[in-house]
Amino acid sequence: MDSRLFIQDLKKPQDFHEYFSKKQDLVLDLGSGMGEFAIELAQTHPHFNYICVEKRMPRARAIAERIDKRSLTNIIVIQTRFEWLIPHCFFHNHFHTIYLNFPDPWLKAKYSSRRTMTTKFLNYVSDALILNGNFHFATDVDEYAQFGHDLLEDHPDFINQLGPQVISKEPPEIQKTLFYYHAQNDNIDSNFIHFTKVK
């Protein structure tokens, strides 16, 4: 038995503050893997509440076990596909920060429509973020980084927090995720993108 949540546990829309004993700004980590990144953040930044979303059962279970083992009360994990969660369960103006770190890049042209970064997805992100909320996107695929960056630059709700047209090759200290280290071990540079919702 662990503390994973499932899509059927959630209201439509869901007030995620209900899952935490302290009402604090909400941070969403889409595609959390084994949760190293969000768990580290939950420990080092206890004044935020964290929501991990991971579709794979063994990974979501591992996150839940780690949360339980550390008795963390400011982080939960939902085992689901985020494209199921986002349209149904998101409240407007709800999240302080949303991370999309190293999503599957779907490199083959015939699968490129499966990529997460689309204008429709960014519309959901914008709707879900509070004003001045943050969207972080990281990838080790340069072409995907440029594509995502261009979608964000063209989107009327966002401005580039790093400066016009800037994609950083340097991770913010807190954003060194497992897949960042995998890429580094393969001598592949990663790309870090940070936009803020301005309207």
Which residues lie below 8 Å from residue 123, measured CB to CB, with a gap of 6+?
Answer: none
81 binds ligand SAM, rule: CB under 6 A: yes
Q: Copy the structure tokens of residue 113.
A: 């429509």
Q: Which of 102, 137, 144, 158 binds ligand SAM (CB under 6 A)?
A: 102
**Nearer residue to ligand SAM within complex by CB, 8 or 165:** 8
Amino acid in position 21: S
Q: Which of 64, 15, 9 is nearest to 39 (CA)?
A: 64
Residues 126-185 that bind ligand SAM (CB under 6 A): 177-179
The closest residue (CB) to ligand SAM is: 31
Instruction: Say whether the peptide bond before residue 58 is cis (omega within 30 degrees of 0).
Output: no
Q: Copy the structure tokens of residue 141.
A: 């695929």
95 binds ligand SAM, rule: CB under 6 A: no
**Nearer residue to ligand SAM within complex by CB, 3 or 22:** 3
Minimum separation from the CB atom of position 36 to ligand SAM (A) = 7
Cα pseudo-dihedral 160, 165, 166, 167, rounded to 10: 100
Binding site for ligand SAM (CB under 6 A): 31-33, 37, 53-56, 59, 81-83, 101-104, 177-179
